[in-house]
Amino acid sequence: MKYVIGIDLGTSAVKVILANQDGEICHTISKSYPLIQEKSGYSEQNPEEWVDKTIQALKELVKLFDGKVEDIEGISFSGQMHGLVLLDEQHQVLRNAILWNDTRTTKQCRDIYNLVGEERLLEITKNAALEGFTLPKILWVKDNERNIYERASQFLLPKDYLRYRLTGKIHSEYSDAAGTLLLNVSEKRWSSEICEAIGININFCPPLVESHHLVGTLNEEVAEQTGLSKNTKIFAGGADNACGAIGAGILDEGKTLCSIGTSGVILTYEDRKDRNFHGNVHYFNHGKENAFYAMGVTLAAGYSLSWFKNTFAANEDFSTILNGIEKVGIGANGLLFTPYIVGERTPHADPLIRGSLIGLDASHTHAHFARAILEGITFSLNESIEIFRDSGKKIDSIVSIGGGAKNDTWLQMQADIFNAKIHKLSNEQGPGIGAAILSAFGCGWYSTLKKCSEKFTIIKKTYKPNPKNVKEYKELFSLYKTIYGKTKGINESLSKFRR
């Protein structure tokens, strides 16, 4: 029996998965690391934490593995998008990585529009200039940390830096590069036009390869530290959402994914490179060669639930804090939550907006709050589905993965709010399984990525929308959508008090 490893470099933890040729998950190891948040809107991590925790996880995985390490043929990667890792000429890290959920770069987004042009940026990158993307972060360092910027010779995205440390080889791939605002998405090349307009040497951008591309083998130091073979093949991997799509079988037109991790995503497959959503949603290269996907993002999906737990129930686990939500009626007894606690992405690209609990009553209990938070997260995701449906896409069947797929009540809530069938997978491991599939495909286990994904992807249960619930949720959703406009001005005024 042969095996592969998928490494998912998330925002809060690295997850390492060992899978075999039958599509079975043999072992899973997770190691967490902290966020560094020195100011409101700042979000950073030390890249060495990623490397150290990944090596620890691989070492533990090898100890659990009952077989010959030579049978572990390949490793591939999934990772948090948009993060900035700056390297000097010796490939040493110059500062902490600035992450996808960092919102300090509003000025730099305006500068990009001024230098490139808003319409031209959309034509080339298919995406609007938002604070979370990589290019605004590069400009922020240039504007605010000039001494560091002048020493920088190249940038990498988070999972690409981790892969470099395991192989000694520097690359990026199209699905992650698409989230930088430096890639010509249709033509699959770094944009010399944008680089020239911004004043960046195009060699500042790493070489590009396909997600299933073999980039090297494990270096001897890491092989010795982990117990893996130095002949283990290393494949480029993909952005977390691209890998999540692969792991959920979103590889054909009409397939849609709901992924709830720290952020939340509604992702729909596209085989056209010329689709135009006018910047209302993201449009990225897929981990599948010559394919694309459109995606709406809720910045604080699972993070809203984590915030609630850590603030009000720090000693309880996630299953405990959701106890009783099935007994609370739709609308949580008149309580509405907007998950804008770190700003928002889709459909409101707004770094200053903040969350709300509307309708707070003395009768509300812990369970009411928990249900309202789940409903608010799901309403936010539904705004992306609404955009796709308004564009003419048919969405009546959705695969749900991540934290939102771990609770039956939440899954039924998704079916009712989205008014679509929700499929739960039997072996759901989020983006990590997509990384493992890319490794298996790269190793030549299957003739196509789709056939490989089908081996790993089995639907366990389907949740159908309840017509009565659908009707109630439509009414609540209409109320939910009014909250942004009514709180926007208040939050802009409050922003000066945030420190």
Q: Is 102 a catalytic residue?
A: no
The residue among 261, 292, 250, 296 whose CA lies nearest residue 275 is 292
Strands (E), 218-291: 233-235, 238-239, 256-260, 264-270, 282-285
Per-residue burial over 410-438, b if 16 or more Cβ lie within 10 Å, else e, is bbbbbbbbbbbebbbbeebbbbbbbbbbb
Cα–Cα distances (Å) from 75 to 5, 15, 151, 488, in that order, read 5, 13, 32, 45
Q: Residue 13, exposed/middle/buried by CB under 10 A (0-12, 13-18, 19+)?
A: middle
How far out from the chain centre does Cα 427 lie?
19
CB atoms within 10 A of CB 69: 15
| DSSP β-bridge partners for residue 97 | 45
Burial annotation 460-478 (CB, 10 A radius, 16+ → b, else e): eeebebeeebeeebeebbe
The overall longest dimension of the chain from CA atoms, in Å, is 63
For residue 273, the SS3 value is coil
Give 289-354 as a DSSP string: TT-EEEEEEETTSHHHHHHHHHHH-TTS-HHHHTTTGGGSPTTTTT-EEE--BTBB-SS--BSS--
Q: Do 374 and 330 meet the contact criterion of CB atoms below 8 Å apart? A: no
3 state SS of 451: helix
Cis-peptide, bond into residue 34, ω within 30° of zero: no
Pairing mode of beta strands 238-239, 72-79: parallel
Closest CA to 298 of 114, 162, 59, 480: 480
Could you tell me how many residues make up the chain?
499
| Nearest in space to 132 (alpha carbons), one of 174, 96, 82 | 82
Q: Which two tokens stand for residue 491?
A: 């939050």
Going by C-beta distance under 8 Å and a sequence separation of 6 or more, which residues neighbour residue 262?
10, 11, 12, 101, 300, 301, 302, 303, 306
Q: Which of 102, 111, 160, 240 is catalytic?
A: 240
Q: Which two tokens stand for residue 36?
A: 């560094």
The C-alpha atoms of residue 9 and residue 248 are separated, in whole angstroms, by 18
Phi first, then psi: give them for residue 223, nearest 5 degrees: -60, -45
- Residue 77 forms beta bridges with which residues? 7
- Residues with catalytic roles: 240
